[in-house]
Amino acid sequence: MERKELLDKIYDVGFYLVDLNLYLDTHVDSEEALDELNQYSRELAKLREEYEKKFGPLTNFGLQSAEDWEQWISSPWPWEKDFN
């Protein structure tokens, strides 16, 4: 996946997880929603890992170690205009 496509997928899955979390707040016995939450949480972790391996950290406290700090400060950040 290209950078923007991968980042969009991360945003989409993250948004869906927030929505599932809100749903589970009012439907605490929904096994189906809980299963989806777990499935999409794993998918988000894989997407973040793929992104950070290819393009560098998404946050300063992400999956990357402190040894990769230079990459964090020198890469365009996801919210920078030139990035998009």
pLDDT digits (tens, 9 = 90+) for 44-58: 999 999 998 888 888
Across the range 69-82, mean pLDDT stands at: 64
- Largest Cα separation within the chain, whole Å, is 46
Q: Identify which has the larger pLDDT, 1 or 60.
A: 1
| Percentage with pLDDT > 90 across the chain | 55
Question: pLDDT band at residue 40, thresholds of 50, 70 and 90?
Answer: very high
Across the range 32-47, mean pLDDT stands at: 94
75: helix, strand or coil = coil
Residues 81 and 16: their CA atoms lie apart, in Å, by 25
